[in-house]
Amino acid sequence: MTPPEEEVLEGGNVADQVVRVGRTVRKPWRRSSPSVLLLLTYLQACGYEASPSAVGRDERGRQVLGYVPGTMADRTAPMTEGELRRLGGTIRRLHDLTAAYRPPEEPVWEAPIPHEREELVCHNDLAPWNLVRDGDAWTFIDWDSAGPGTRMGDLGYAAHGFVPLHEGGDPRRDARRLRALADGYGCDGAQRRELPDAVLGRVRGMYDLLTEGARTGEQPWARLHAEGHADHWGPASEYVERNRQLWREALLR
């Protein structure tokens, strides 16, 4: 019997050896893979539509997920404010489900950047490079960094990529777009006050992870640092630092 054809999938900064086989995706098995598959199975059972299906493990020991057709969001135009509101609602639905999640066995997570506290299980890499868009269908992929965290930490990381909050942006325009995301999530007053600081914590945390990886040689962070990724995250953290009070005022207005 001829083995199924494997198509190497491009994109992503951390995952390697990711291939498509028919209607599935195969990727290396990690210590956290059993916990990730259980989480995805739970989300699927709850009817959450923005996560891929969990299939299991193949004969070569690889993690198997359902293939998600479409275009990565980092290859499309930036989201409109209406789409940012929808995104906020999609993330809120995820968080409400994971806040109620009780793993059937002791979980093992591999989240690279720790949160300041643990409220619920987060995706931890909600970004345009991990969102597949196929018409009205939106699906978050690459759940390997899932683990305990905070609502605003996860939303703040998403804000960095989707608003986006990058060096060279227009702070007042970004304030409107950040508010659209927060409105879609349904942030209360305390969450609106917290969100700009949460953005800074996650962006600065990513920069620190890359610089520490360069110092220790830990992969894939050392490679990503060598490829210049810290040159984005460092200035991005400075941009957030300079403007977070403006954004907090806009969120609370």
SS (H, E, C) 52-112: CCEEEECCCCCEEEECCCCEEHHHCCCCCHHHHHHHHHHHHHHHHHHHCCCCCCCCCCCCC
| Inside any domain, residue 169 | yes
One domain, residues 140 and 187: yes
| Inside any domain, residue 1 | no
The rounded distance, in Å, linking the Cα atoms of 93 and 87 is 10
| Inside any domain, residue 123 | yes
| Inside any domain, residue 71 | no
One domain, residues 128 and 229: yes
One domain, residues 11 and 126: no
User: For helices 171-185 and 230-252, what crossing angle results, to 10°?
Assistant: 70
pLDDT digits (tens, 9 = 90+) for 111-148: 999 898 999 999 999 999 999 999 999 999 999 999 99
pLDDT digits (tens, 9 = 90+) for 176-229: 999 999 999 999 999 999 999 999 999 999 999 999 999 999 999 999 999 999
Element (H, E) at 172: helix 171-185
Which among 60, 63, 54, 70 has a CA at the least distance from the CA of 4?
Answer: 60
State which of 66, 90, 108 marks the end of a domain: 66
Residues near 50 by Cβ (< 8 Å), separated by ≥ 6? 90, 93, 94, 138, 139, 140
User: For helices 151-162 and 171-185, what crossing angle results, to 10°?
Assistant: 140
What's the predicted TM-score (pTM) here? 0.94
Paired strand residues for 64 = 26, 56
DSSP SS3 for 196: helix
One domain, residues 164 and 84: yes
One domain, residues 104 and 228: yes
Sequence letter at residue 19: V
One domain, residues 177 and 146: yes
| Inside any domain, residue 72 | no
| Inside any domain, residue 125 | yes
| Inside any domain, residue 86 | yes
**Domain of 181, in residue numbers:** 77-252
One domain, residues 56 and 93: no
Q: What is the CATH number of the domain that holds 144?
A: 1.10.510.10
